[in-house]
Structures are given as C-alpha cells and as structure tokens.
A and B are shown apart, each in its own frame.
Chain A
C-alpha cells in the first residue's frame, strides 16, 4: 500500500522456487489541484504501459488524478529505519533555517 517497499524481503511462508511473476510497480498520482505527485500504492504489471492502464483503473476511479507516474519498485532506494536518527535529527537544532526565526520590527512594515 502506501509504503514503498523496495527490495524484496526474504520469503517467509514458502520456500518455493522463484516463479515467472509480473514485477511490482509503485504508483504516484498528481491530484486535480495537487502540486506534486503523491505515492498512492502499488500493483503488479508486465510492463510500464500496463502498469499505467491498471493504475488508471484502480487508483483514479473517483476523479482522483490528472497525471500518473509508475516506477518499477526495484529502481527505488529508501532510507533504513535504523538510520532515522543520524539522517533526520541534525535539522532539529537548526531553527535559524526557518523564516520565522528573525524578528523584524513592526515599523519596518511587511517583509
């Protein structure tokens, strides 16, 4: 669903030999008034063309979108949960990156 899952995890319930399966595609849709494409889910399809057709049928049934991107899941790299700290924490101590950090006197007017 709405969690990109690149890189197959180890098979758990079966030790079956790899089968001729359709690859997994991640689907991104830009909504009617959306500024950017958002990840909405995934699906299996033999190729990009079919992935787009199926994404249209599954993810835009109720006027959800005006543009579809499909990306084969194996092309996506993601951050690891264990790296959450080192990757994202540094920005927490940098309040000066926000425009609201500076106090401009009222008499200066709108800035």
Chain B
C-alpha cells in the first residue's frame, strides 16, 4: 500500500547459502518472530525498504489531511464539523508517529519531507482524487480508512519494532475514522432522494480508487517477495484486496447502495466475491503524477513548507536565545 518504488535489493530472495553470517543471523531472528530494533544489525536493503515504506506511509497521513480538510469549513452540522476536525488532527498525529519510526532508521524528518516535496517519495494514490461533495467525506472514511485499516492491522506484526508499535497505536485510533465515515453514509443513504444519490455517487467514484490502494498484484514482484521474507509485509496485495471486498460488499448492501461493478458475484468455492480489477493504467498514471489532484496536493504541501520557513526559523532562534540567556544567568 505504501511500498511504491521499493527496490529492496533488485535480486530475488537470497537462499541460506548465499547469505553472509550476519544476514543469516538476521533472517533467523525474523523467522523466530523477534522484533528488530533500531540499533540492531540489519541488511542495507531492509533499512532502505523500511525508510521508503514508513516514510511514504507517513506522507500519506499528512497529504491525506487535504481532501478531508477541504470540507471542514463546509461540514453540514456543527457536530460533523467537530468530528471531522478531530479526525484530521488524529491524522497529523499518525503522520508524526510514523515519521518518528522512520527516523529510528537514520533518516531525518525534514529529509523525508524534502523528498516528498521534490517528488522523490510518493504518498498513497488515493489522495489524488478530489472530494466533490459532503458524501465523499463519508466514502473516504468508510472505504479509504477501511482499506487502510485492512492494511495496517496485519502490520502490527511487522518485523521492525518501531513500525509495529506505531501501527498498534494508530490502529487503536483508526477505527474511529472508519465508523465516522460509515455513520455519514448511513445518514445520507437513509435520507432524502438527493442525499441518497450523493451517497451512491461518492461510492461510484471511490470504489475503484480504494481497490487500487492495495497496489497491483504482487505475484510478479521480487521486491514484494523480499519484503515478505523479511516480514516487513505480512499479506499479499491481492489477499488484502479480496478481504476488503468481502468485508465491504455487505456494508454497501446494508446501506442499500450498489457497488459499481456489474461482474461482482459471490463465489461459493473460494468463499469470497469475484470482482473486477481496477484500471491499472489509471493507477500508474496517478502515481506518475497525472491524477486529478496530484499537482494541487503537492503544491499545498510545498507552499505550507516554504511559507512556514520563517516561523520555524523564528522559533528556533527564540529557543537558542532563551537557552543562551539561561546559560549566562547561571
């Protein structure tokens, strides 16, 4: 989900014979489900993969505030507005936890931010889609956060300790977000004709982008295989996507809304739904920067960073002056 552009080693997974003694010892620890900690020896590919994945996960939390923040001033009731504010605040906190986890790998947060702003790092493709109506805020909470939770729950068992602990903390707070979204959808799906139409329209637009969040089928990718051998990744993209569809279809039925997929059908043999794949050309196009909102999202982040420079500098100068005064007084 956050592993775009991960190039762990470029080779396949090493056999035991090919591993150095350190690598073999490391793999033994991973196989025994021991958590790897910041100061433990780790393969360079493991470190690089994690910096990219955790960093992009953090970027996604931060950029993800923008499509929802878009509706804060226009939320239809004061209650909904307070709830949405709280949710966006949570996301800032989740970004913070994740940046801290990434920093234990020897990269600085400002460093990661600069890589995001220069386009060298990615964020989840989903945030390049616009939120056009209030119902979209419901769809985002229900589908987008639903997909994110699906991905994050297994990551609580990921092999890198700081990442796994960040996930545990985030998952505790995240279920609030999905419920908040579904609650909006319930209200609208059971509301007036116009509200119901809005809810259906939001589902129509967010269904396939949500399926894309899990990433392309990873049967082909050497990087996925390596990430799974290192237990950075726990499930395959396709496995998680299937689980998400199976969970979401009944939720849509409860709302009386239709999944925009005519091929959707329960498959008794596999005990899950058969469903249409999203358009992967669109997915890669969005990743390349050509989605509907890529430009706006990045520009908003760049402007915030550039325009905030004098504030950051001012606070730092003030802190140094205060510290110097304290030393002088002693």
**Chain A residues engaging chain B, CB cutoff 8 angstroms:** 1-3, 5, 8-14, 16, 19-22, 24, 41-44, 46-47, 50, 57-58, 61-62, 78, 80-81
Nearest CB of A to B96, in Å: 6
In the complex, what distance in Å separates the CA atom of A47 from the CA atom of B44?
A: 33
**Given the complex, which residues of B lie within 8 Å of A50, measured CB to CB?**
315, 319
Those of B86-108 within 8 Å (CB) of chain A: 89-90, 92-93, 96-97, 100-101, 103-108
Nearest CB of A to B48, in Å: 7
Check if A46 sits within 8 Å of B38, measured CB to CB.
Answer: no
**Given the complex, which residues of A lie within 8 Å of B163, measured CB to CB?**
1
Those of B49-101 within 8 Å (CB) of chain A: 51, 89-90, 92-93, 96-97, 100-101
Instruction: Say yes or no: is B313 at the interface (Cβ < 8 Å to chain A).
Output: yes
Check if B48 sits within 8 Å of A80, measured CB to CB.
Answer: no
For the residues of B in contact with A, the DSSP-based class is helix
In the complex, what distance in Å separates the CA atom of A103 from the CA atom of B60?
A: 59
Contact A46 to B316, CB < 8 A, known contacts A1-B97, A3-B161, A21-B110: yes
Check if B47 sits within 8 Å of A12, measured CB to CB.
Answer: yes
**Given the complex, which residues of B lie within 8 Å of A41, measured CB to CB?**
96-97, 100, 169
Nearest CB of A to B105, in Å: 7
Nearest CB of B to A27, in Å: 10
Q: List 7 A-B contacts (CB under 8 A).
A: A1-B97, A1-B166, A2-B169, A3-B162, A3-B165, A50-B319, A61-B93
**Given the complex, which residues of B lie within 8 Å of A58, measured CB to CB?**
92-93, 96
**Given the complex, which residues of A lie within 8 Å of B268, measured CB to CB?**
none
**Given the complex, which residues of B lie within 8 Å of A9, measured CB to CB?**
38-39, 104-106
Nearest CB of B to A13, in Å: 6
In the complex, what distance in Å separates the CA atom of A13 from the CA atom of B163?
A: 18
Instruction: Say yes or no: is B329 at the interface (Cβ < 8 Å to chain A).
Output: no
Instruction: Say yes or no: is B288 at the interface (Cβ < 8 Å to chain A).
Output: no
In the complex, what distance in Å separates the CA atom of A69 from the CA atom of B166?
A: 20
In the complex, what distance in Å separates the CA atom of A5 from the CA atom of B316?
A: 22
In the complex, what distance in Å separates the CA atom of A8 from the CA atom of B103?
A: 8
- Specify which of B105, B115, B162, B313 is in contact with A20 (CB 8 Å cutoff): B313
How many interface residues does B have (CB within 8 Å)?
A: 42
Check if A3 sits within 8 Å of B319, measured CB to CB.
Answer: no
For the residues of A in contact with B, the DSSP-based class is loop
Beyond the given A12-B48, A12-B51, A14-B114, could you list 18 further A-B residue pairs with CB under 8 A, ordered by the A residue number?
A1-B104, A1-B163, A2-B169, A5-B103, A8-B106, A9-B104, A11-B111, A13-B48, A14-B107, A21-B109, A21-B110, A41-B96, A46-B312, A46-B316, A46-B319, A47-B323, A57-B89, A58-B93
Contact A1 to B169, CB < 8 A, known contacts A44-B109, A46-B318: yes
**Given the complex, which residues of A lie within 8 Å of B89, measured CB to CB?**
57, 61
**Given the complex, which residues of A lie within 8 Å of B101, measured CB to CB?**
1
Among B47, B108, B115, B322, chain A packs the most CB atoms within 10 A around the CB of B108
In the complex, what distance in Å separates the CA atom of A62 from the CA atom of B89?
A: 12
Check if B105 sits within 8 Å of A81, measured CB to CB.
Answer: no
Q: Which 4 A-B pairs have the closest CB atoms?
A: A9-B106, A47-B319, A46-B319, A46-B315
